[in-house]
């Protein structure tokens, strides 16, 4: 007898969207190709972008986003927008995961200037929206997200590959690392008035890690501008690393020669390293990393799943760490 | 008035059970807006256990420091009941944690128990278990007053372990530990000083 076991990613026929509903889905007002032409005209492009329905905007000013099929694994079931935007670690806005959402409402992220500097040929101070236009708009990628606290989500990020920004900055040969600095605004941000962490938040990557195709700068979630509590308007996304590497609300990107420290390493070097690669075989000193809780699944009692090496991106990134002792370089 | 109410057993029962009902609430909401309700519940149960442990440890210093205060007298009638409630909440906390970590096997759980953060919690729980079992009248008679008293002094070790356990539970030091156990330390220090002074006065 043949018993067919459905694959975890298989959907029943009943879950398919009826064609009539599919055809009714919102379409971009400006087709993508035309949009790319339009952005060349600067302000006019922005005006056109702001006419788009909000569901299709991926940055502060609103940019049409398009799913990148290479980063849309049908086996990944995205976590609900509600949970992604209400369960956050963002100590600038409070240390409880429910704090950032209420505490960050009304905090101004527009206009937003980001400074790109250090060992590069093209240092600039640039408006976040202008930067997105320079990067050719945004695309959507669905990535796994694994927090160092052993919980996980699946997040549809909108944004652009970090490699594009690096090409734009044009690093000098001496540049070996890249750093990301979060804002410092104790006047308007309650958490920064207390010395919970060594403000401002600071993160870094090796330049080859940053240039990897998976490294991403997010400007949106689910096609909407990224909310304040998730790190508006520009947030680093490195899906094979623990969530604390994803520097939020970036104001400064620096290219440097020496390996930088990062905020959590400064706080507790025995618990958080520079690499912070997701690794089920290397435990946190206080808990195991072998499995993770899937946020929003399985009802009240939840569901746990095995954590994958490099968070499931082993095939793509393992070569970056060839020959390295990952228990030492955690 | 508060002393009259606190003397009654049912009042104390209500005060002890109420925070537990609140802990279960997030588990039964139709659509959990809370991303991890079981974790919220387990943290809450642990917090209640820690608070009640701190509360029960203030009873005897309060009586020594203010022997004529009727509230202190009323509270001392319920030391055992509150102590057993500490164990009950700690037990629920351990059960919730076990469910939370269970990932199809117990290997993760056992591995984690060896880490100081979790080991301290486990040892504190084991002490509370022994103290609860020996809180029956028969056990007191069997052990004899002196030995029973010495055994039950282990509650201070359980409290010290709980302080470490609670402080290590967060990525940065949680100030709540100071709010919960600070008053106990102050009162215990005052009692120790008072008892010492009385001893030298009578000598």
* pLDDT single digits (tens) A65-89: 889 999 999 999 999 999 999 999 9
Which of A296, A299, A304 shows the shortest C-beta gap to B103? A304
Which of A197, A290, A296 shows the shortest C-beta gap to B35? A296
How does pLDDT run across A248-305, given as a tens digit for each residue?
A: 999 999 999 999 999 999 998 889 999 999 999 999 999 999 999 999 887 767 788 9
Write down the pLDDT at residue A166. Answer: 98
Write down the pLDDT at residue B8. Answer: 87
CB spacing of A197 vs B117 below 8 angstroms: no
**Cα B77 from Cα B25, distance rounded (Å):** 31
A58 pLDDT above the threshold of 70? no
Torsion angle of C-alpha atoms A219, A221, A223, A228, degrees rounded to 10:
-60
pLDDT confidence band for A325 (50 / 70 / 90): very high
| Cα of B109 to nearest chain A Cα, Å | 8
Retrieve residue A221's tokens.
């979630």
CB spacing of A295 vs B35 below 8 angstroms: yes
CB spacing of A267 vs B171 below 8 angstroms: yes
How does pLDDT run across A6-33, given as a tens digit for each residue?
A: 566 666 555 565 554 444 444 444 444 4
**Cα B101 from Cα A143, distance rounded (Å):** 24
- Show residues of chain A in contact with B99, CB under 8 Å: 301
CB spacing of A290 vs B170 below 8 angstroms: no
Q: Scanning the structure block, which residue is given the tokens 């930067």?
A: A131
Select, from the ranges A83-87, A234-238, A284-288, B197-201, the one with the highest average predicted confidence (pLDDT). Answer: A234-238
Minimum CA–CA partner of B36 in chain A: A295
- Show residues of chain B in contact with A287, CB under 8 Å: 112, 115, 117-118
**Cα A118 from Cα B105, distance rounded (Å):** 50
Residues 118-177 of B with CB under 8 A from A: 118, 168, 170-172
Minimum CA–CA partner of A96 in chain B: B170
How does pLDDT run across A132-189, given as a tens digit for each residue?
A: 999 999 999 999 999 999 999 999 999 999 999 999 999 999 999 999 999 999 999 9
Is some CB atom of chain B closer than 8 A to the CB atom of A197?
Answer: yes
pLDDT confidence band for B23 (50 / 70 / 90): low
ipTM greater than cut 0.85: no
**Cα A187 from Cα A194, distance rounded (Å):** 11
Could you please state the CATH topology (level 3) that the domain comprising A74-321 is classified under.
Sulfite Oxidase; Chain A, domain 2 (3.90.420)
Write down the pLDDT at residue B157. Answer: 97
10 Å CB burial of residue B142 (0-12, 13-18, 19+) is exposed
CB spacing of A299 vs B32 below 8 angstroms: yes
Is some CB atom of chain B closer than 8 A to the CB atom of A291?
Answer: yes
- Show residues of chain B in contact with A298, CB under 8 Å: none
Closest C-alpha among A320, A202, A210, A307 to residue A264: A202
| Cα of A278 to nearest chain B Cα, Å | 16
How does pLDDT run across B111-140, given as a tens digit for each residue?
A: 889 999 999 999 999 999 999 999 988 888
Which of B28, B35, B103 shows the shortest C-beta gap to A83? B35
CB spacing of B38 vs A300 below 8 angstroms: yes
Minimum CA–CA partner of A280 in chain B: B108
Task: Compute CA B96 distance to the chain's CA centroid, rounded to the nearest angstrom.
Answer: 17
A60 pLDDT above the threshold of 60? yes
Minimum CA–CA partner of B117 in chain A: A286
Task: Lowest mean pLDDT of A27-36, A42-51, A257-266, B88-97, name the range.
Answer: A27-36
Is some CB atom of chain A closer than 8 A to the CB atom of B37?
Answer: yes
B29 pLDDT above the threshold of 90? no
CB contact set of A78 (below 8 Å; sequence gap of 6+): A142, A154, A155, A156, A222
The residue among B171, B173, B176 with the most chain A CBs within 10 A of its CB, best to mutate, is: B171
Minimum CA–CA partner of B31 in chain A: A299
- Show residues of chain A in contact with B34, CB under 8 Å: 98
| Cα of A32 to nearest chain B Cα, Å | 36
Retrieve residue A213's tokens.
């195709």
- The ranges assigned to domains in chain A are 74-321
**Which residues face A178 on adjacent strands?**
A205, A255
Is some CB atom of chain B closer than 8 A to the CB atom of A208?
Answer: no
Coil, strand or helix: which one is B120? helix
DSSP character for B68? T
Write down the pLDDT at residue B123. Answer: 97
Coil, strand or helix: which one is A30? coil
Is some CB atom of chain B closer than 8 A to the CB atom of A9?
Answer: no
């Amino acid at each position: 007898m043949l018993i067919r076991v459905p694959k975890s990613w298989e959907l029943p026929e009943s879950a398919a969207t009826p064609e009539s509903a599919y055809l009714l889905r919102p379409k971009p007002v400006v087709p993508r190709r035309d949009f790319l032409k339009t952005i060349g005209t600067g302000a006019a492009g922005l005006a056109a972008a702001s006419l788009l329905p909000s569901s299709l905007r991926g940055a502060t000013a609103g940019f049409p986003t398009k799913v990148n099929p290479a980063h849309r694994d049908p086996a990944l079931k995205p976590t609900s927008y509600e949970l992604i935007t209400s369960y956050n670690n963002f100590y600038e806005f409070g240390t409880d995961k429910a704090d950032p959402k209420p505490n960050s409402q009304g905090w101004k992220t527009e206009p937003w200037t980001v400074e790109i500097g250090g060992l590069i040929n093209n240092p600039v101070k640039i408006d976040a929206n202008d930067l997105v236009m320079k990067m050719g708009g945004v695309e959507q990628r669905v990535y796994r997200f694994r927090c160092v606290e052993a919980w996980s989500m699946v997040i549809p990020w909108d944004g652009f590959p970090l490699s594009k920004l690096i090409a734009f900055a044009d690093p000098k040969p001496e540049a070996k690392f890249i750093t990301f600095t979060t804002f410092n605004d104790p006047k308007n941000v309650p958490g920064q008035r207390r010395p919970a962490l060594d403000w401002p938040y600071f993160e870094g990557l090796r330049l080859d890690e940053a240039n990897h195709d998976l490294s991403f700068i997010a400007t949106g979630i689910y096609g909407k501008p990224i909310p304040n509590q998730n790190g508006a308007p520009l947030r680093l996304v490195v899906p094979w690393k623990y969530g604390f590497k994803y520097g939020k609300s970036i104001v400064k990107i620096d290219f440097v020669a020496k390996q930088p420290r990062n905020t959590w390493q400064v706080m507790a070097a025995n618990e958080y390293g520079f690499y912070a690669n997701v690794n089920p075989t290397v435990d946190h000193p206080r808990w195991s990393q072998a499995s993770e809780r899937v946020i929003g699944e399985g009802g009240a009692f939840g569901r746990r799943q095995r954590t994958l090496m490099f968070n499931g991106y082993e095939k793509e990134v393992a070569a970056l760490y060839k020959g390295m002792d990952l228990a030492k370089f955690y | 008035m508060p002393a009259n109410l606190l003397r009654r057993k049912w009042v104390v029962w209500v005060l002890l059970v109420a925070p537990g009902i609140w802990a279960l609430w997030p588990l039964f909401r139709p659509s959990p807006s809370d991303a991890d309700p079981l974790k919220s519940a387990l943290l809450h149960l642990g917090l209640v256990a820690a608070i009640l442990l701190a509360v029960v440890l203030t009873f005897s210093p309060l009586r020594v420091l203010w022997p004529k205060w009727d509230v202190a007298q009323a509270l001392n009638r319920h030391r055992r009941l509150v102590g057993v409630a500490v164990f009950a909440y700690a037990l629920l906390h351990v059960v919730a944690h076990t469910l939370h970590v269970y990932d199809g096997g117990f290997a993760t759980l056992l591995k984690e128990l060896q880490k100081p953060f979790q080991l301290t919690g486990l040892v504190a729980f084991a002490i509370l278990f022994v103290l609860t079992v020996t809180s029956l009248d028969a056990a007191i008679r069997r052990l004899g007053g002196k030995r029973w008293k010495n055994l039950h002094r282990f509650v201070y070790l359980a409290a010290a372990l709980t302080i470490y356990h609670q402080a290590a539970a967060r990525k940065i030091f949680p100030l709540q530990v100071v709010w919960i156990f600070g008053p106990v330390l102050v009162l215990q220090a005052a009692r120790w000083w008072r008892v010492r002074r009385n001893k030298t006065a009578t000598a």
